[in-house]
Amino acid sequence: MYASTSGMPASRPVMPARLPIAAILLWLGALLASAAPWLNQLDAGAVLSAFWAFNPDNYSSILAHFSWAPRVSIAILIGCGLGLAGAVTQQVLGNPLASPTTLGVEAGGQFGVTVATLFAPGLLAFSPDLVAIAGGLIAIGMVIALTWRLGFSPVTVILAGLVITFFLGALNMAFLLLKGEWLGNLFIWGAGSLVQNNWGPFMELWPRVLVISVLILLLMRPLQVLQLGQSSASSLGARVGLIRALALFLVVLMTATVVSRVGVVAFVGLAAPVLARLLGARTFASRILWSTLMGGGLLLLADTLAHWASTWGDGSLVPTGTTTALIGGPIILLALQGFRNTHHMPGQESNLAGFQPRRRAPLLVSSIVAGLIAITVAVSMGWSPGLDGWSWTPVTQWDDAWVWRGPRLLAAMLAGVALGLAGTLIQRMTGNPMGSPEMLGISGGAALAMVLIVLTGADVGRAGQLGAATLGAAGALGLLILLARKHQFAGNQLLLGGLALYVFMDAGLRLVMASGGTVASQLLNWMYGSTWLVSETEAFGLLGFIVLICGLLALIVRPLTLLPLGDTSASSLGLPVTKARLLLLLLAAVLTASATVVIGPLSFVGLIAPHLARVLGQQTVGRQLIVAGLVGGLLLALADYLSRIVVFPNQLPAGLLAALVGGVYFLWGLSRHGRP
Amino acid sequence: MSAFFEVSSLGVHIGDAAILNDINIEFREGEVTALLGHNGSGKSTLLKVLARQTPPSSGNTSLLGSSFRTTGAREFARTVGYLPQHPPGTDGLTVRELVALGRYPWRGPLGRYNSEDHQFIDQAIHDTGLDHFQHRSVDTLSGGERQRAWIAMLLAQQTRCLLLDEPISALDVKHQVETLRLVHRLAEERELTVIVVLHDVDLAARFCDRLVALKGGRLIADGSPRDIMDSGTLESIYGVPMGVMERAPDQWVSYVH
């Protein structure tokens, strides 16, 4: 009755042999690499027996039993746990990039522990799990609240997770700057160190991991049904909401249990399932199995690398979290290559909430914002706290005050304008309200260059730093262009490529932070956007540059309107799509780089300004650009002023302040996005 | 024949907009019903209410005499199967694995699949003519084959009722006819109740026992194909002047003037 396509294999698909081979190679390699230093001192049998016994007369044997063996065991245990958690997260959200790291759960756990360390150390002694779980739940709750109305699309969820991670990171940093003396250890801990000196932590951890794993396995079949999408799954009688909530709760439990003991071990939960999938684990059951195994092997390998790096280096500790993050970047890039279509993925529903745009006159809105900027400038120049209370600086004396207050204010404002423009470009290009230069990894590229300079200890001065950061941004851009060319510079791939770059930057930063010392504080100041070092020439140079770019922007308003209609429509209307994308990308990158050297990579302005412009009723591209630029300028001018006065006579970095305030606005704003 | 679904004074509102208004209708057991109407007439929404995918804003719906509110999720899924308009990608599942998921309402999260389940799965695959494809990945199938794989999943669910939302809108004529013929044959063999949203009124008249038309969220026509396939009725449903020819007994051709 049916015309069957003949010649099709009627046999069952078999599991590709490369899967077990890769797993075995990974485990063997990691175990051998880990055991190698010990094999010089002990014979193979003794090394193996170090897991359960030791010879009290042999120092090496004692060391192996109490330091090496528990470290290996805990690495495998945690790796397996995180691999399992990652596989489940991907299934629950139908999202091949979801993981405890990318959803902000790890950052949340870390945040919980930081807060507890500072304000309720007693709680930490009682149970570190509790605070970490609370933090993880808060983080994932925020991610879900953010993406609820945006339809849980995979890229949006990941970006929201990233925003939350940044935000909690900024909060952590604010605590650090204000109460630094308490948090020294948190850095090493926060970067994920697996160093052990007895079997205690392992013994404490394994029953918990086991229980959570068993609970997760009980949810296996309902999770499998989720693969069919929400409506089909629920018409099969699965309670989709309940299953999702339960599974995510278990994931948070698993992650937080791990985080509270060894700190953030980033990206194992992402890398393991991605690897398993790439190697051909097809069904959910096999993905769970292999990603658990891969996780264990991967973390052991990463930990061994970290251990070697610590030994070979100058004795400073290299936390395992650093090496896992270094592995994480390439893995995301690998996963990217596997994507055909990020717009529609399994489990994704197409019921996007309608956003009713309200329009307002652009002239009115922009003049109001411009007026606010003028007021901010006036107040910032004039009204300030002194040694004997608040006072107005008379206008006649502004000439003198200019040297101190002017350049930084101007630079901050211009950086805000640049970020606002870049953010609008990127959001329009990618069609994703979560897109922004911070997310594109261009800021990350600039930051990485700075990190490298600090690491090598070269004293290149401010100008050298500027040059290096620009180079870094350009490098990141180049890499992005290479990556994205395959996908014709399509939006979501670009964002994900940026995510991978961010991961690299993150790894470098962790390394610097963990090594501590003066370099770290130097870097911190720039990272979180200290504006107080900007000179007058730099500020004016930036001004000229931004004016130039604004002229160019007039050319691209119309292409930018066409691009979101889709490549086919845009090119059939006569737009050279690839060229237009390339030009837009270049503009966005240059804008971002110029802003990043001033304000650091982590302000949310590029994310918020375009969003605010829409809320203010500017729906067309040209108007949104203008208002977003103005709003960005206003935000950072305000942040710069506040950073001067909030903890007077000390200073907070303006970028940090912007990130904190902006983060709060963003969470609030997006969660009501689309509410009728 | 008893009432399978009973819908009384049903209303669905989203914000201020009324999608469905005061719908009263019964669907009888063992009957193949087509829901007709132009885009936005509320037919998909009515189907979603029947599938319990959309909660009604007002009114009452009952299945076999017991209200929707008192039926458990899996119990409901053992009686009613629903195929959404755009089934998502299946991420590497093979046809057989997809069909096997249809047994979930019967076995739940932990129950083991026994030989009876495998028999139902085999039967469903056979009935939809997918024997050759059962170990192929669903994503690699053509549109028509994929549609059949999803219908096979619904069959393995062993429900007494199928709710299909535009199952043929993405298919060519040949596959449209094949799919509807399959549904019709299965309905006869297994005495299934089928409610299907269709755009093609001629195919609906050809393969369904009863045609129900909605317009602007209200019920405007309900009857056998012979009652509905009339130029006046069709014109009131679609809002364009239409004519109908009866080519052979029970075979109509409609056309637009």
8 Å CB contact of B77 and A235: yes
Q: Are residues A310 and A447 in the same domain?
A: no
Q: Are residues A332 and A439 in the same domain?
A: no
The nearest alpha carbon in chain A to B128 belongs to: A2
Cβ(A1)–Cβ(B129) below 8 Å: yes
Q: Is A185 in CB contact (< 8 Å) with chain B?
A: no
* Residue with more model confidence, A424 or A602: A424
Q: Is B252 in CB contact (< 8 Å) with chain A?
A: no
Q: Are residues A43 and A183 in the same domain?
A: yes
8 Å CB contact of B135 and A231: no
Q: Are residues A478 and A582 in the same domain?
A: yes
8 Å CB contact of B97 and A283: yes
Residue A341 has pLDDT above 60, yes or no: no
Write out chain A residues lying below 8 Å of B84, CB-based. 229, 231-232, 235
Phi-psi region of A459 (alpha: psi -120 to 50; beta: other; left: phi over 0): beta
Predicted local confidence at residue A455, as pLDDT: 67
The nearest alpha carbon in chain A to B53 belongs to: A231
| Residue A145, domain member (yes or no) | yes
Q: Are residues A529 and A636 in the same domain?
A: yes
Nearest CB partner across the interface for A13, out of B135, B142, B178: B135
Write out chain A residues lying below 8 Å of B178, CB-based. 1-2
Predicted local confidence at residue A424, as pLDDT: 85
Q: Are residues A620 and A471 in the same domain?
A: yes
Q: Are residues A207 and A331 in the same domain?
A: yes
Structure tokens belonging to residue B3: 């009432």
Global pTM value: 0.76
A145, A96, A11, A40: which is closest to A271 by C-alpha?
A96
| Residue A405, domain member (yes or no) | no
Q: What is the mean pLDDT of residues A369-391?
A: 76
Q: Is B134 in CB contact (< 8 Å) with chain A?
A: yes
8 Å CB contact of A227 and B94: no
Predicted local confidence at residue A179, as pLDDT: 66
Cβ(A495)–Cβ(A155) below 8 Å: yes
The nearest alpha carbon in chain B to A240 belongs to: B73
Q: What is the mean pLDDT of residues A565-591?
A: 71
Give the A:B interface size as CB pairs under 8 Å.
116
Q: Are residues A194 and A289 in the same domain?
A: yes
Residue A344 has pLDDT above 60, yes or no: no
Q: Are residues A566 and A478 in the same domain?
A: yes
Over the stretch A158-191, which tens digit does the pLDDT of each residue have?
A: 777 877 887 887 777 777 666 665 555 555 555 5
CB atoms within 10 A of CB A464: 12
A647, A655, A644, A631: which is closest to A379 by C-alpha?
A644
Window 432-451 of A, Cβ < 8 Å to B: none
Min Cα distance B193 → chain A (Å) is: 16
Rounded to an integer, what distance in angstroms lies between the CA atom of residue B108 and that of residue A238? 8
- Write the single-letter amino acid at A481: I
CB atoms within 10 A of CB B66: 10
Residue after which a domain boundary falls, among A293, A314, A338: A338
Q: Is B81 in CB contact (< 8 Å) with chain A?
A: yes
Q: Is A52 in CB contact (< 8 Å) with chain B?
A: no
8 Å CB contact of A225 and B132: no
Q: What is the mean pLDDT of residues A291-320?
A: 80
Min Cα distance B20 → chain A (Å) is: 18
The nearest alpha carbon in chain A to B103 belongs to: A236
| Residue A167, domain member (yes or no) | yes
| Residue A375, domain member (yes or no) | no
Q: Is A348 in CB contact (< 8 Å) with chain B?
A: yes
8 Å CB contact of B88 and A346: yes
The nearest alpha carbon in chain B to A12 belongs to: B135
| Residue A625, domain member (yes or no) | yes
Min Cα distance A150 → chain B (Å) is: 17
CATH number at residue A556: 1.10.3470.10
Min Cα distance B88 → chain A (Å) is: 5
Q: Are residues A498 and A613 in the same domain?
A: yes
B65, B60, B50: which is closest to B2 by C-alpha?
B65
Q: Are residues A327 and A449 in the same domain?
A: no
8 Å CB contact of B88 and A348: yes
Residue A349 has pLDDT above 60, yes or no: no
Q: Is B65 in CB contact (< 8 Å) with chain A?
A: no
Predicted local confidence at residue A355, as pLDDT: 43
Q: Is A280 in CB contact (< 8 Å) with chain B?
A: no
Over the stretch A218-254, which tens digit does the pLDDT of each residue have?
A: 888 888 888 787 778 888 877 888 888 888 889 888 8
Over the stretch A593-642, which tens digit does the pLDDT of each residue have?
A: 778 777 777 677 888 888 788 777 776 777 788 888 888 888 888 888 88
Cβ(A487)–Cβ(A509) below 8 Å: no
* Residue with more model confidence, B26 or A154: B26
Min Cα distance A11 → chain B (Å) is: 6
| Residue A8, domain member (yes or no) | no
Rounded to an integer, what distance in angstroms lies between the CA atom of residue A193 and that of residue A199? 15
Min Cα distance B92 → chain A (Å) is: 6
Nearest CB partner across the interface for B105, out of A6, A236, A676: A236
| Residue A392, domain member (yes or no) | no
Predicted local confidence at residue A532, as pLDDT: 64
pLDDT band at A211 (very low <50, low <70, confident <90, very high): very high
8 Å CB contact of A8 and B94: no
Cβ(A100)–Cβ(A106) below 8 Å: yes
Predicted local confidence at residue A350, as pLDDT: 37
pLDDT band at A676 (very low <50, low <70, confident <90, very high): very low
Predicted local confidence at residue A531, as pLDDT: 66
**CB within 8 A of A6, min separation 6: which ones?**
B132
Q: Is B249 in CB contact (< 8 Å) with chain A?
A: no
8 Å CB contact of A231 and B82: yes
Phi, psi (rounded to 5 degrees) for B19: -90, -40
Q: Is B112 in CB contact (< 8 Å) with chain A?
A: no
Q: Is A353 in CB contact (< 8 Å) with chain B?
A: no
8 Å CB contact of A232 and B97: no
Residue after which a domain boundary falls, among A338, A354, A380: A338
| Residue A636, domain member (yes or no) | yes
The nearest alpha carbon in chain B to A243 belongs to: B109
Residue after which a domain boundary falls, among A338, A354, A378: A338
Predicted local confidence at residue A352, as pLDDT: 36
Q: What domain range includes position A212? A: 18-338
Q: Is B49 in CB contact (< 8 Å) with chain A?
A: no
Rounded to an integer, what distance in angstroms lies between the CA atom of residue A96 and that of residue A340? 12
Average the pLDDT over each of A41-50, A101-110, A343-352, A527-536 and give the range with the smallest value.
A343-352
pLDDT band at A12 (very low <50, low <70, confident <90, very high): low
Predicted local confidence at residue B195, as pLDDT: 92
8 Å CB contact of B136 and A8: yes
Residue A146 has pLDDT above 70, yes or no: yes
Over the stretch A79-105, which tens digit does the pLDDT of each residue have?
A: 999 999 999 988 887 777 778 887 888
Write out chain B residues lying below 8 Å of A244, CB-based. none
Rounded to an integer, what distance in angstroms lies between the CA atom of residue A425 and that of residue A613? 13
Phi, psi (rounded to 5 degrees) for A580: -60, -45
A81, A114, A115: which is closest to A100 by C-alpha?
A81
The nearest alpha carbon in chain B to A221 belongs to: B109
Q: Which of B45, B50, B78, B91 to mutate to probe the A interface, most A CBs <10 Å? A: B91
Predicted local confidence at residue A560, as pLDDT: 73
Kindly provide the ipTM of the predicted complex, given to two decimals. Answer: 0.71
Q: What is the mean pLDDT of residues A424-438?
A: 73
Q: What is the mean pLDDT of residues A498-513?
A: 68
Min Cα distance A674 → chain B (Å) is: 13
The pLDDT tens digits along chain B (257 residues) read: 467 888 888 888 877 788 888 888 988 888 899 998 888 888 888 888 888 888 888 888 888 877 777 777 778 888 888 888 877 776 677 888 888 888 888 887 777 888 888 999 998 898 888 888 888 888 788 888 888 888 888 888 888 889 998 888 778 888 888 888 888 888 888 888 999 998 888 888 888 889 999 888 888 888 888 888 888 888 888 888 888 888 877 788 888 87
8 Å CB contact of A236 and B137: no
- What value does the mean pLDDT of chain A take? 75
Q: Which of B101, B112, B121, B179 to mutate to probe the A interface, most A CBs <10 Å? A: B101
Q: Which of A153, A214, A232 to mutate to probe the B interface, most B CBs <10 Å? A: A232
The nearest alpha carbon in chain A to B76 belongs to: A237
Window 137-196 of B, Cβ < 8 Å to A: 137, 142, 148, 150, 153, 157, 178
Q: Are residues A326 and A427 in the same domain?
A: no
8 Å CB contact of A237 and B132: no
Q: Is B1 in CB contact (< 8 Å) with chain A?
A: no
Residues in chain B: 257
8 Å CB contact of A2 and B129: yes
Min Cα distance A14 → chain B (Å) is: 10
Give residue for tokens 């458990």.
B72
8 Å CB contact of B73 and A237: yes
Percentage of chain A beyond pLDDT 90 is 2
Min Cα distance A8 → chain B (Å) is: 7
Domain tally, chain A: 2
DSSP class per residue in B29-78: TT-EEEEE--TTSSHHHHHHHHTTSS--SEEEEEETTEEGGGS-HHHHHT
User: DSSP E strands: which ranges in A27-145?
Assistant: none
8 Å CB contact of B110 and A11: no
